[in-house]
Amino acid sequence: MTINSCDELPNGLLEERGNFTLAVDIMNINSITFMMTTSRAIHFRTAEMLKNEKMTLIMTSLKQIINTYHGRGFKTQHILADGQFESTRKHIKPMGIMLNITGRDEHVPEIEHYIRTVNKRVCAIIRTLPFQNYPQQLLVETVYNVVFWLNCFPHKNRIHATLSPRAIVTGSHIDYKKLPPKIWIIHPSA
């Protein structure tokens, strides 16, 4: 697999979509904690394993994600989260970002959908493996792999006709012509 860079964003993209909203939540798989984020319109997704759910670690991870967007010229305007993130408000406000916390027993739809998607895909991959027990690092890398591939293809509600969320936010894309050849599938009718 070859990764190429695309330094320039298409004309007008930052002017039209430069300010964005980030949805954030915590996901647990087999007692492994991940901070999950997805952005509205851009649909760039992240997952980062957390050793614990302390506010300092959550803020460190959140700042890294925000800086990744800012590195390409995007500005985080709002963060949507549930009550678990209320303690981050005093750290997010000085950054010029508005934190919107959902009401009790409410959720942010796009982050919940993203977490369900990752969970289903990780389960599908794990079920194909011939093991009874899975090392923690295998599960972590499986989550990262799922997120990587979700970011490699343009989202159905995309902001650009051909660029993937990965290309828009990180400036890199995969050269699909250099991927290994397709595995032949034998159809039952053959």
Is the whole model's pTM more than 0.75, yes or no?
yes
Q: Tokens 């894309």 belong to which residue?
A: 173
Whether 165 and 22 have beta carbons less than 8 Å apart is answered as: no
Question: Any idea where the domains of the chain sit in the sequence?
Answer: 2-178
CA–CA gap between residue 70 and residue 96 (Å, rounded): 13
- CATH assignment of 2-178? 3.30.420.10
List, for residues 98-122, the tens digit of each pLDDT value: 999 998 888 899 999 999 999 999 9
Average pLDDT rounded to a whole number, residues 152-179: 76
Distances (CA, A) of 157 to 23, 37, 40: 16, 17, 10
